Amino acid sequence: MARLGFHSALMSKDASATRMEKIVSLCKRRGFIFQSSEIYGGLNGFWDYGPLGVELKKNLKDFWWRRNVRERDDMEGMDGSIIMNRAVWKASGHEETFSDPMVDCKVCNSRNRADQLPEKDGKKYCPQCGSRDLTEARDFNLMFKSHAGPLESEDNLVYLRPETAQAIFVNFRNVLDTSRQKLPFGIAQIGKAFRNEINPRNYIFRSREFEQMEIEYFCRPEDGMQLTDYWLEQRIKFYEDIGIPRSKIHINDIPDGERAFYSKKTYDLEYEFPFGVSELEGIAYRTDYDLGKHIEHSGKPLDYFDEATKERFIPHVVEPSAGVDRTTLALLCEAFDEETVTDEKGNSETRTVLRFHPRMAPIKCGIFPLLKNKPALVEKAKEIATALRPIMNVFYDEAGAIGRRYRRQDEAGTPFCVTIDFDTIGENGPEKENTVTLRHRDSMTQERIAISDLKNYLLEKIG
Ligand code: GAP
């Protein structure tokens, strides 16, 4: 089949918006992402992941964990509670300062982030009704509040955590004492975070409930700067390894004066989303600020004693902090493609395909008996599916023409499909018996492979 790709890096604003709409529509149609509470009209800033979305997100989190925890001697994992003692947020500064500037529109009463208002002729206006009659900006704290226990009193006030990082800092001593780590070493965590964003937007990019993958890498003060650059490179490599090319990642070296006052260096890693280049991850050298604050507020010894030099000091920390949902969105945006394909008879159609890296693909292999009314084909196909299921997510499908089954898997981003035909069951002689057709999603080429080689072949591609 002839193919014509029309995904171009240089897209107009309209083309970018159309591309984003197509991605959102595909995600709903194929069960990646749904609006939360959809049957009741949804809830702004909240999303549900469907059968394919949850697999994609899980593959991302599992690979991050493998790369950053299992494959490293200098890293420990943990999983902290979402709700912590309010004192944690007083110490970290979140209760006082974790806010965005907000303005009200005096005409339509909508509330908007002051730093994201559209502007015309040097004057900001309301994005909802266009009015320029706006209140002064005031701080709006982004932490969701609740109460622990049956009494709704100030004493029982708690927050849903706005970042996973603080659970790591307050457990620094516990992890140090129970592991055999010495500086430099890191603690990694994946988990939910909640921010009552004033204007959630750009699909799952900015939501009110999301997941983070965070590392706090503790080190000697003199190593902080160099380790920040080390982590920058590690994190770019990670994105390459999940199919997001280095060329689409922008490094924003945050200048002096724009960083948090305690940070000596911060890089934002940004991706070319269809709606613009936007932040995926921050890599911040946070010095000894966080441990120092928790020592000050808790009075507990969160410092470090270096046996070799006999020094006692507060470790510094480098923090690579990534968003699960933003990376999932980047994976979807990077994978989405449409191309015109023409068959042997000259008929053209648009093929929609998600070109995920096989490692990230929600379904690794589609398994199809050529015909569903031939018990020998069905039996063989089910046997192959059963053998692969414990080690990868496969999809068994016997409905419809083979071409349509391939197209369905193209849209789901399945990198490989296997067809069990009459050659497989030895009806055309012994040479091709126990071989199957392996079809490749990206090139649409097909090859013959022995069933006995299939598992290792697939494992090598998705590993
Ligand atoms: N502990 C540091 C920290 O939380 P951050 O830059 O506020 O830093 C880190 O957040 C990452 O979390 C961001 O780079 C982004 O990927 C993700 N993130 C933050 N707010 C988000 C939101 N409202 N929706 C989705 N992801 C978000």
Which of 33, 61, 163 to mutate for ligand 1's pocket (most ligand atoms within 8 Å of CB)?
163
Exposed / middle / buried, residue 347 (Cβ in 10 Å: 0-12, 13-18, 19+): exposed
Atom of ligand 1 nearest to the CA of 163: 4
Nearest CA to 331 among 251, 273, 247? 273
The predicted pLDDT at position 371 comes to: 97
Nearest CA to 60 among 282, 238, 268? 238
The predicted pLDDT at position 36 comes to: 98
> Ramachandran region of residue 203, left (φ > 0), alpha (ψ -120 to 50) or beta?
left
As beta bridge partners, residue 439 has 417, 446
Full-model pTM: 0.95
Nearest CA to ligand 1 atom 24: 206
Angstrom distance (rounded) from CA 351 to CA 338 = 6
Decide: 282 in ligand 1 pocket, CB within 6 A: yes
Angstrom distance (rounded) from CA 79 to CA 119 = 43
The predicted pLDDT at position 344 comes to: 82
DSSP for 306-345, written as a single string: ETTTTEEEPPEEEEEEEEHHHHHHHHHHHHEEEEEEE-TT
Could you tell me which residues come within 8 angstroms of residue 403 by beta carbon, excluding any fewer than 6 positions away? none
The predicted pLDDT at position 444 comes to: 97
User: What does the pLDDT look like over 13-39, one tens digit per residue?
Assistant: 888 999 999 999 999 999 999 999 999
Q: Which two tokens stand for residue 219?
A: 């080190």
Decide: 380 in ligand 1 pocket, CB within 6 A: no
Q: Name the stretches of the chain with pLDDT < 50.
A: 1-9
> Ramachandran region of residue 223, left (φ > 0), alpha (ψ -120 to 50) or beta?
alpha
